[in-house]
Structure 1
Amino acid sequence: MLKKALGRCLLLVSVILPNLMVQAEEVNVYSYRQPFLVKPLFDVFTKQSGIKVNVVFAKKGMAERLMREGEYSPADVLLTTDISRLVELHDKKLLQAVSSQVLEQAVPQQFQATDDTWFGLTTRVRNIYSAKRLGNISINYEDLADAKYKGRICTRSGKHPYNVALVASMIAEHGEAKTLEWLNGVKANLARKPQGSDRGQVQAIHQNLCDLSLGNSYYFGKMLKDDKQKVWADAVNINFPNQGNRGAHVNISGVALAKYAPNKANAIALMEFLVSEKAQKMYAETNMEYPVRAGVAVSKLVASWGKFKADTLSLEQIAKHRKAAIKLIDQAKFDL
Structure 2
Amino acid sequence: MSVPAKTIQAATLALIAATPALAEVNIYSQRQPELIAPITDAFTAQTGIETNVVYLDEGLTERLSAEGSRSPADIIMTVDIARLSQAVDAGVTQAVESPALVENIPAAFRDPGNEWFGVTTRARIVYASKERVDPSEITTYEDLASDKWEGRICTRSGTHPYNLALLSAMIHHHGYDAAKEWAQGLKDNLARKPQGNDRAQVRAIWAGECDISLGNTYYMGKMLEDEEQTAWAESVNVLFPAFEDGGTHMNVSGAAMTAAAPNREDALKFMEFLASSDAQEIYAEVNYEYPVRPGAETSETVASWGAFTADDVNLMDLAALRPDALRIMEEIDFDG
TM-score by length of 2: 0.93
Aligned positions of 1:10-49 closer than 5 A:
20-22=19-21, 24-49=22-47
Q: In the alignment, what sits opposite 1:232? A: 232
1:109 aligns with 2:107: yes
Segments of 4+ moved more than 2 angstroms: 13-18, 135-139
The DSSP-based 3-state class of the residue aligned with 2:172 is helix
Q: Percent identity?
A: 48
Q: In the alignment, what sits opposite 1:10? A: none
Are the equivalent residues in 2 in contact too, given 1:243–1:308 (CA < 8 A)? no
Q: In the alignment, what sits opposite 2:7? A: none
Task: State the shift of 1:17 in Å.
Answer: 6.8
Hey, what's the Cα distance between the residues in 2 that align with 1:226 and 1:269?
A: 34
Q: In the alignment, what sits opposite 1:284? A: 284
The DSSP-based 3-state class of the residue aligned with 1:55 is strand
Number of positions where the alignment pairs a residue of Structure 1 with one of Structure 2: 325
Hey, what's the Cα distance between the residues in 1 that align with 2:165 and 2:188?
A: 21
1:59 aligns with 2:57: yes
Aligned partner of 2:324: which letter?
A
The DSSP-based 3-state class of the residue aligned with 2:177 is helix
The DSSP-based 3-state class of the residue aligned with 1:293 is coil
Q: In the alignment, what sits opposite 2:142? A: 142
The DSSP-based 3-state class of the residue aligned with 1:311 is coil
Q: In the alignment, what sits opposite 2:294? A: 294
Q: In the alignment, what sits opposite 1:94? A: 92
The DSSP-based 3-state class of the residue aligned with 2:222 is helix
Aligned positions of 1:237-252 closer than 5 A:
237-242=237-242, 245-252=245-252
Unaligned ranges ≥5, structure 2: 1-12
Are the equivalent residues in 2 in contact too, given 1:243–1:309 (CA < 8 A)? no
Are the equivalent residues in 1 in contact too, given 2:141–2:243 (CA < 8 A)? no
The DSSP-based 3-state class of the residue aligned with 1:228 is coil
Task: State the shift of 1:237 in Å.
Answer: 0.6
The DSSP-based 3-state class of the residue aligned with 2:36 is helix
Aligned positions of 1:318-333 closer than 5 A:
318-333=318-333
The DSSP-based 3-state class of the residue aligned with 1:21 is coil
1:128 aligns with 2:135: no
- 1:181-217 per-residue CA deviation (whole Å, 9 max, x = no partner) reads 1111111110000000000000000011001100000
Q: In the alignment, what sits opposite 1:304? A: 304
Hey, what's the Cα distance between the residues in 2 that align with 1:253 and 1:243?
A: 22
- 1:83-133 per-residue CA deviation (whole Å, 9 max, x = no partner) reads 011011111111100000010001000001111100100010000111111
- 1:43-89 per-residue CA deviation (whole Å, 9 max, x = no partner) reads 12112212110100012110111111111011100000010110111
Q: In the alignment, what sits opposite 2:80? A: 82
Aligned partner of 2:42: which letter?
V
Hey, what's the Cα distance between the residues in 1 that align with 2:197 and 2:120?
A: 21
Q: In the alignment, what sits opposite 1:7? A: none
Q: In the alignment, what sits opposite 1:164? A: 164
Greater mean deviation of Cα atoms: 236-245 or 99-108: 236-245
The DSSP-based 3-state class of the residue aligned with 1:45 is helix
Hey, what's the Cα distance between the residues in 2 that align with 1:236 and 1:245?
A: 27
Hey, what's the Cα distance between the residues in 1 that align with 2:17 and 2:116?
A: 36
Task: State the shift of 1:146 in Å.
Answer: 0.6
Aligned partner of 2:115: which letter?
T
Q: In the alignment, what sits opposite 2:5? A: none
Hey, what's the Cα distance between the residues in 2 that align with 1:15 and 1:330?
A: 62
Q: In the alignment, what sits opposite 2:273? A: 273
Hey, what's the Cα distance between the residues in 2 that align with 1:225 and 1:44?
A: 22
Q: In the alignment, what sits opposite 1:68? A: 66
Greater mean deviation of Cα atoms: 245-254 or 135-144: 135-144
Superposition CA RMSD, Å: 1.9
Are the equivalent residues in 2 in contact too, given 1:83–1:251 (CA < 8 A)? yes
Are the equivalent residues in 1 in contact too, given 2:81–2:319 (CA < 8 A)? yes
Aligned partner of 2:194: which letter?
P
Hey, what's the Cα distance between the residues in 1 that align with 2:288 and 2:275?
A: 16
Aligned partner of 1:128: which letter?
V
Aligned partner of 1:136: which letter?
P
Q: In the alignment, what sits opposite 1:173? A: 173
Aligned partner of 1:197: which letter?
N
